[in-house]
Amino acid sequence: MPRSGRICLKKAGAKYVVPVVEHHDGFAMYDSDLTIWTAVKMGPKQDLVGELAKAVKADGLIFGVSNHRMEHHTFMYPKAGLANDQFDPKYAEFYGPPQPPGQSGMNDANASPTFQAEWLARMQEIADKYHPQMFIFDNGVNSRGYDDVKLKFAAYYYNQAAKWGIPVSIDTKSTAYLAGSIQDYETRQPTGLQSAPWQVEDKIAGNSWGYSELNSPMGYRTAASIVSELVTVVSHDGCLLLNISPRGDGSIPQQQQDILLAVGQWLNVNGDAIYGTRPWAVAEEGANTHFTTKNGALYAIIQNAQAEQDVTVTSLPKGYPPNGKIAQVELLGQSGSISFTQDESGLHLKLPDTLPTTIASTLKITFNLLPTSASP
């Protein structure tokens, strides 16, 4: 990758990195012993996935992979009667085992047993070569008709991870797995607090998952928009996986770098309210205030906060918590405490005349808990 197009994802605030190791085109971006159609044997002659995995792990981040191969056969058939090379033996490793032509839908279990066996072998190979801590599958694996091969992979992956001594997870949309996986949503969020952790995938470009000069200008989102989504997702017990769009040479356009680093700067100040947190009983008040908790502290993240703004947290009226009291209110990124009062309408305070970040500000509220009854 050209040096000018590099970015440190750790500085952008990322905690895990998940490249697409194979999309619907059948071309593997990793070093595979099962096909010649790889970035190692063709094109750049590099193990792009392996190099990225090494760099990500060296920075202390979690490395995962996203693979769309099960959907591959649903995209391969042209219109009836149109000449094609899909059954030419020299392209078998590219298209996969020949499939009977006909109508295909990504949620239909119409991949042949041979295709499914090849899919399983490739997923096992990726697991063993790169030890990813997350596997993400798109809609192609949703069908109940693929349950047998999906369960075989899950058993293999989880058993291998036990040998490696690392935690791993599988992430899928819909009900691809009825249990044992993370629920994934694409560019949308579930309503309300969920019973288990979940993930939303969204993109830095508003109109594209990839880079295309045809989409220029690509309609990039602002850092404030991404932070707003992140705060909303985390307050509802989710995680945000943000798609970035490199150019064909692997470089990250400067505008994307600037957006990512701006998000990272916000997280550098406010990350304590995001990383490792859990949802509170109340996820939000109105559109601009969201809550998270960690280590006994409550975080109130106020989007569009203004200097000297009067703030009322209505979820913290006088008498809350019932067996204790608020000990301190701090503003992340600024030393010292903020004066406050409590009455029946909530917790009241005024933000300082300068704020450490412009996108959103975070109040850290800590409590002095009192015993529920007097000591004997």
Residue 216 is predicted with a pLDDT of 63
pLDDT at 34 exceeding the cut of 80:
yes
Average of pLDDT values for 208-234? Answer: 89
Ramachandran class of 260: left when φ > 0, alpha when ψ lies in -120 to 50, beta otherwise: alpha
pLDDT at 109 exceeding the cut of 80:
no
pLDDT at 144 exceeding the cut of 70:
yes
pLDDT tens sequence across 65-91 = 999 999 887 776 666 677 778 778 888
pLDDT at 376 exceeding the cut of 50:
no
Average of pLDDT values for 145-151? Answer: 96
pLDDT at 374 exceeding the cut of 50:
no
pLDDT at 252 exceeding the cut of 80:
yes
**Beta bridge pairs of residue 66:** 20, 136
274 compared with 88, residue with greater pLDDT: 274
pLDDT at 10 exceeding the cut of 90:
yes
Q: What's the chain's average pLDDT?
A: 90
How far apart, in whole angstroms, are the C-alpha atoms of residue 118 and residue 86?
A: 17
Question: Tokens at residue 128, please?
Answer: 């063993």
**Beta bridge pairs of residue 137:** 67, 172
Burial state string for 139-164 with b = 16 or more CB within 10 A and e = fewer than 16: bbbbbeebeebbeebbeebeeebeee
Residue 106 is predicted with a pLDDT of 52
Question: Tokens at residue 299, please?
Answer: 């975080």
CB atoms within 10 A of CB 218: 21
Domains in the chain (CATH in brackets) are 3-271 (3.20.20.80), 284-369 (2.60.40.1180)
Output the pTM of the full model: 0.91
Radius of gyration of the chain (CA): 24
pLDDT at 214 exceeding the cut of 90:
no
Q: What is the DSSP letter of 278?
A: B
